[in-house]
Each structure stands twice: as C-alpha cells, then as structure tokens.
Amino acid sequence: MQNPFDGDNNEGPNGLPVPPNYATVTKADNGDIRIGKVGFSFTAFIFDFWVPIFRGDWYNFFCIAGIELGVGMGFYSIHFTNIQVQASWYSLVELALKLLWGFWYNYMYFRHLFNRGYQPATQRSKDVLANKGYLPKWLK
C-alpha cells in the first residue's frame, strides 16, 4: 500500500501507515496494539463522554462522568433569578468542560494505557509522545 503520509510510519496493524500526529503503543505480554492521536481531541470535544465508551476506556469514562455530574449538580444548586440566565451560564460551563476534555482526553487515555503496561511501539511513536509530554518520567 502506498503511504499517503510523509515519512516511514508504517507502524499500524499489518504495516498500515498512521498519520504523523498519531502514536502506536503495544502491550508486551499479549501483543495488544492501540493507536491514538496525540494532541487536541476533536472527538472528545464534540462527543464528550461517548469517546471513552467506544474505546473501552472505562476508567476515563468514570472520571469524565464523575466530574461532569459533580459540576452539573453543583451548578444547579446555585439559585438564579430566572431560567434564561441559568441556561446561558450553563451553556458556558458546558463549553468549558468540552474544551477541557478536548485538550486533556488523549493525554488521559495514553497515561492510563502506560499505567496498564503499554509501551511505545516504535521510536517514532516514542518521540511523538515525548514531544507532547505524554510519556511518564519512568518510561523516558
């Protein structure tokens, strides 16, 4: 297959190319491969807590759901003068949470994979993860 991306990044399953801002991690004991984007997660920004459900990332799902529920319950415990003001402020809070998950979800996903025993599959993936600060100190 012709590589549509620049460079030698054929580290996907069966040698398929991955985009330059993606990293591949593997688990040594069972050979499980995970490929994920490094940087801002537009899917987490748009689809919120559905992303960890579809990735089978239950740890981060419960983290996101807990924070969203806590912020929502705390927000609705505040007394507002009318419902329009409350709805306006809640939409701003919701946008702030979506931006938070957009910037942080991929970082949380890779960190959880590293805690479960995954390692960067290639030196290119290790470099991509290290440049964005995703690698823990014990893995560098």
Give residue-wise pLDDT tens across range 42-94: 999 999 889 999 999 999 999 999 999 999 899 888 888 888 888 888 999 99
Q: How many domains does the chain have?
A: 1
Read off the pLDDT band of 136 (50, 70, 90): confident
Read off the pLDDT band of 36 (50, 70, 90): very high
Within-domain flag for 7: no
d(CA 117, CA 28): 8
CB 109 within 8 A of CB 134: no
Higher pLDDT, 136 or 111: 111
Residue 80 has a pLDDT of: 83
Residue 47 has a pLDDT of: 93
Q: How far is CA 132 from the centre of its chain?
A: 13
pLDDT surpasses 80 at 11 = no
Nearest Cα to Cα of residue 22 among 4, 32, 14, 34: 34
Residue 2 has a pLDDT of: 56
Within-domain flag for 17: yes
Give residue-wise pLDDT tens across range 84-125: 888 888 999 999 999 999 999 999 999 999 999 999 988 989
pTM: 0.85
Within-domain flag for 82: yes
Domain carrying residue 126: 13-139
d(CA 86, CA 90): 6
